Amino acid sequence: MFCEQCEQTASGNGCHQWGACGKSPEVNAVQDLLVYCLRGLASVVLKAKEAAISTRKADIFTCEALFATMTNVNFDQRRFTDYIQRCLEIRENLKAQLGSLDWSALANYQPNFNESLVSQGQEVSLELIEKVQDLDIFSLKLTAIYGVKGLASYTFHAQELGQEDDSVYQVIQETLAAIDRGDLNLNDWVAICLKVGAANLRAMELLDQGHTETYGHPIPTNVPLNPRLGKAILVSGHDIKQLAALLAQTANTGITVYTHGELLPAHGYPKLKEKYPHLYGHYGTAWQNQTKEFAKFPGAIVLTTNCLMPPHENYESKLFTLGPVGYAHINRIETVDGAIDFSRVIAKAQSLPGFTEISEPRQVMVGFAHNTVLSVADTVVNALKQGKIRHFFLVGGCDGAKPDRNYYTEFVEQVPEDCIVLTLACGKFRFFDKQLGSIEGLPRLMDVGQCNDAYSAIKIALGLANAFNVSVNEIPLSLIISWYEQKAIAVLLTLLHLGMQNIRLGPTLPAFISPNVLKFLADTYHLQPITTPAKDLAACLG
Ligand code: FSO
Ligand code: SF4
């Protein structure tokens, strides 16, 4: 097998025997086969778009299928067989509408379902196909594919909320189709990667619109970290719409709903909080701690999107997955025409003890998305001008199990008292409950939201630049980013597309970036690896 799409890739060098995430070589092979078939579908979709034939079904399918291949989303080999079959059906249906055309071998590719899809997947692994070719182009192709996976996940979430833009689907399909082209040089591939970043900005904007138009703009909200007595359901992942559907079905059942991981920022949405008082508090921390935290949770658990870890026996009977998420033998909740029936989850929660003891009250504050922060832009600008605020740090991104991620905790601890920390995504769980005080009434630690809310952080940065009438690279803001999986790659491409300079990235640099590509990024964008908190702080403030 070959996979190096995430930060925990084995020895920083690609998973070759078994995925460090728990993905088997068999699942990896059928994922490769699915991506291969999606590349063939993409060339047909592009022709259909040219002929003004509707490709919406194919576009949404492509996003869901790519999403399923991301790190810690789906480990179920049968689900990938289904995706491959659906991919071919959709492709053939579009071809039939297009009439007789000369199709490439890839667009005509037909796996044999009577034989092992695993060995057929191994034959089309990107590494095998590209092995003899240019290392730097291979590096950029992987960057584009992994970035498109992240982009597809944001696009999938946005369309669930009724927000779509054909230009985003166009870029996803063009990028997939481009992998097969031999006529593109290094500069072409850099341009493709940046185009993925531009489309990702639009996809994140659509997702932001979907969230805020449906649930209101997030407002500063205290979230209890201590449970309350009674039956309980824990919802993890990122999908606010699926959480809202569960809240609607658990209203007046006496069950308390808790968020886990990246669903913490859901508490900031006023229309969710006002409508569903049983959306009470938050339980646990980041994804890599779920095996311990899920085992202890005394109720049912729903995993909406990434990050799912291979579950332990001691909690798998109370765990449910839905959407692109999957794991063989784990309870699955199907979505039928957009409707989700959570009755099995509710019955499971009723059969479990729930919380029987209370603990010391603790809380954190969420809700510092762009609307809240930019509504006090004048206060921020004045405080900056008067020297009361010296600098902003965006310390955001994914968490993970490696000890070198302590850098981010130590960094926040060492940020001087006249500076403000904005944070987002699951990396914040290393410091989210720290009491850092305030400056001019502004908390020194502000939670902007999920990784899916990276758009909000970008909007805040652009809004401050606008208020100062300077470019975004001239405001006193440093980006200290932690990455783990493919959404972070898509966001990084967006930041590069916006021309953001001096990003500090860690805990390690992506394995798929070749030395020459890294040099290009360092020379052009001053992208750099993190070093030590003290050294990086001094450089940012210097
Ligand atoms: Fe974390 Fe997982 Fe949100 Fe990622 S939960 S690691 S970038 O999927 O998505 O921040
Ligand atoms: Fe390895 Fe990450 Fe790929 Fe899993 S997703 S196989 S850990 S590189």
- Provide the ipTM: 0.96
Q: How far away, in angstroms, is 57 Cα from ligand 2 center?
A: 29
* Crossing angle between the packed helical segments 186-215 and 486-497, to the nearest 10 degrees: 100
Please tell me the predicted confidence (pLDDT) of residue 12.
84
Atom of ligand 2 nearest to the CA of 71: 5
Check if the beta carbon of residue 327 is closer than 8 Å to that of residue 317. no
**Measured distance CA(122)–CA(26) in Å, rounded:** 9
Q: How far away, in angstroms, is 249 Cα from ligand 2 center?
A: 36
**pLDDT class for 11, splitting at 50, 70, 90?**
confident
389 lines ligand 1 (CB under 6 A): no
In percent, the amount of the chain with pLDDT more than 70 equals 99
Q: Which of 412, 435, 424, 438 is nearest to 369 (CA)?
A: 424
Task: Ligand 1 pocket test: pick from 238, 290, 456 the residue with the most ligand atoms within 8 Å of its Cβ.
Answer: 238
Kindly state the tokens that stand for 148.
């498109």
Please tell me the predicted confidence (pLDDT) of residue 130.
63
Q: How far away, in angstroms, is 431 Cα from ligand 1 center?
A: 16
19 lines ligand 2 (CB under 6 A): yes
pLDDT(357) > 60: yes
Dihedral, CA of residue 227, residue 232, residue 234 and residue 240, to nearest 10: -100
**Ligand (nearest to CA of 127):** 2
**pLDDT class for 402, splitting at 50, 70, 90?**
confident
The rounded mean pLDDT for the chain is: 96
Please tell me the predicted confidence (pLDDT) of residue 131.
61
**pLDDT class for 182, splitting at 50, 70, 90?**
confident
**Measured distance CA(203)–CA(455) in Å, rounded:** 9
pLDDT(133) > 90: no
- The type of residue at 180 is D
Please tell me the predicted confidence (pLDDT) of residue 170.
98
Task: State pLDDT tens for residues 33-49.
Answer: 999 999 999 999 999 99
In sequence order, what are the residues at sequence separation of 6 or more whose Cβ sits closer than 8 angstroms to the Cβ of residue 194?
493, 496, 497
> What 8-state DSSP symbol labels residue 15?
B
Q: What is the edge-to-edge ordering of all strands in the sheet holding 331-333? A: 279-282, 256-259, 232-236, 300-303, 319-322, 331-333
Q: How far away, in angstroms, is 470 Cα from ligand 1 center?
A: 32
> What 8-state DSSP symbol labels residue 466?
H
CA distance from start to end of the chain: 45
Q: Which of 434, 422, 430 is nearest to 476 (CA)?
A: 422
Kindly state the tokens that stand for 275.
């409508």
Whose Cα sits closest to atom 9 in ligand 1? Answer: 451
pTM attached to this predicted model: 0.97
Q: Give the three-class secondary structure for 185.
A: coil
Please tell me the predicted confidence (pLDDT) of residue 291.
97
Q: How far away, in angstroms, is 315 Cα from ligand 1 center?
A: 22
pLDDT(129) > 70: no
**pLDDT class for 496, splitting at 50, 70, 90?**
very high
pLDDT(535) > 60: yes
pLDDT(132) > 60: no
Q: Which of 49, 43, 50, 19 is nearest to 32 (CA)?
A: 19
Report the Cα 11 to chain-centroid distance in Å: 23
Q: Give the three-class secondary structure for 443.
A: strand
Please tell me the predicted confidence (pLDDT) of residue 401.
87
Q: Which residue has the higher pLDDT, 533 or 401?
A: 533
In sequence order, which ranges of 297-338 are alpha helices (DSSP H)?
none
What is the DSSP track for 44-113?
A: HHHHHHHTT---HHHHHHHHHHHHHTSTTTB--HHHHHHHHHHHHHHHHHHHHHH-S----HHHH----T
The average pLDDT across 189-194 equals 98
Q: Give the three-class secondary structure for 77.
A: helix
Atom of ligand 2 nearest to the CA of 3: 3
**pLDDT class for 432, splitting at 50, 70, 90?**
very high
The average pLDDT across 223-242 equals 97
Atom of ligand 1 nearest to the CA of 305: 8
Task: State pLDDT tens for residues 300-322.
Answer: 999 999 999 999 999 999 999 99
The average pLDDT across 357-381 equals 95
Q: Give the three-class secondary structure for 441.
A: coil
